[in-house]
């Protein structure tokens, strides 16, 4: 259904209607939406108008086009993005695939800082995860993760071996929560005692700290995580033109 505000151009009203349907799960990540012709007929608009609405959703990162195949709901892939900062390669120079090990999980309550980051009232039930990311069995990153209990309650009942190397696919399959966007903040500091121990580092060793908040299609924060890695292993490359 189109927004009733006729002051908006029809392509924006179509764009808003499709965005709402994506948020409601009408099409899952990786699933194709109807062709432009079908959408134009449905909304009583020109094909060019439907195309402009789709282009707006592509620009927002909600949809992606595949030449010759159609337009699909975008599936976010942030799982290994941290390893652009902590690269590790084998003898042949090829990147090594990180694995993950869940060390602890517990139900908790959001303190003021967590509540602010997850847009929750203070004291709201949350789930905390603590895990390691490893390269060839050696710890590379330690991660502290917190998610709202209301959205992620099934995580407490899962067997530890059900937690794979990537959490976001698990969020989708086990909890029906789809990650579409992430925001990161990078800083440096000293490793807290439990982080130094997990990473086999000396007490107060310098670490790179990456804070990440991820969001659902509706814009609500789904997860806040803090990842720690040895500063001496940190690497960042960017091309400036």
Give the tens place of pLDDT for each residue, 102-116: 999 999 999 999 999
Check residue 136 and give its pLDDT.
86
Q: Nearest CA to 227 among 214, 212, 213, 210?
A: 210
Instruction: List domains and CATH numbers for the chain.
Output: 10-73 (1.10.10.10), 78-233 (3.40.1410.10)
Mean confidence (pLDDT) of the chain? 88
| Percent of the chain at pLDDT exceeding 70 | 86
Q: For residue 31, which phi and psi values (nearest 5 degrees)?
A: -95, 145
Of 142, 240, 160, the residue nearest 198 (C-alpha):
142
Q: Does the pLDDT at position 241 exceed 90?
A: no
d(CA 129, CA 106): 7
Per the model's pLDDT, the better-predicted residue between 136 and 180 turns out to be 136
Report d(CA 114, CA 108) in Å as an integer: 11
Residue appearing with tokens 């804070």: 211
Q: State the Cα angle at 65 between 219 and 11, rounded to 5°.
A: 65
Tell me which residue of 79, 74, 84 sits closest to 164, measured CA to CA. 79
Q: Please report the pLDDT score of residue 97 as a whole number.
A: 77
- Between CA 43 and CA 34 the distance in angstroms is 12
pLDDT of residue 26: 86
């Amino acid at each position: 259904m189109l927004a009733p505000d006729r002051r908006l151009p029809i392509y924006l009203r179509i764009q808003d209607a499709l965005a709402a349907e994506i948020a409601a799960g009408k099409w899952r990540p990786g699933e194709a939406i109807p062709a432009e012709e079908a959408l134009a007929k449905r909304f009583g608009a020109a094909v060019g108008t439907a195309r402009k609405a789709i282009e707006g959703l592509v620009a927002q990162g909600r949809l992606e086009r595949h030449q010759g195949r159609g337009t699909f709901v975008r599936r976010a892939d942030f799982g290994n993005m941290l390893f652009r900062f902590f690269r590790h390669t084998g003898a042949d120079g090829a990147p090594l695939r990180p694995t993950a090990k869940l060390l602890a999980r517990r139900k908790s309550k959001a303190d003021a800082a967590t509540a602010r980051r997850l847009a929750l009232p203070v004291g709201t039930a949350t789930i905390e995860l603590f895990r390691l990311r490893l390269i060839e069995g050696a710890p590379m990153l330690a991660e502290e993760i917190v998610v709202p209990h209301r959205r992620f309650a099934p995580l407490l009942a899962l067997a530890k071996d059900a937690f794979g190397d990537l959490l976001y696919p698990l969020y989708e399959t086990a909890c029906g929560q789809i990650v579409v966007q992430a925001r990161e903040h990078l800083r440096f500091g000293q490793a807290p005692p439990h982080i130094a121990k997990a990473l086999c580092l000396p007490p107060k060793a310098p670490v790179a700290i990456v804070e990440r908040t991820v969001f659902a299609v509706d814009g609500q924060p789904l997860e806040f995580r803090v990842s720690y890695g040895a500063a001496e292993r940190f690497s960042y490359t960017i091309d400036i033109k």
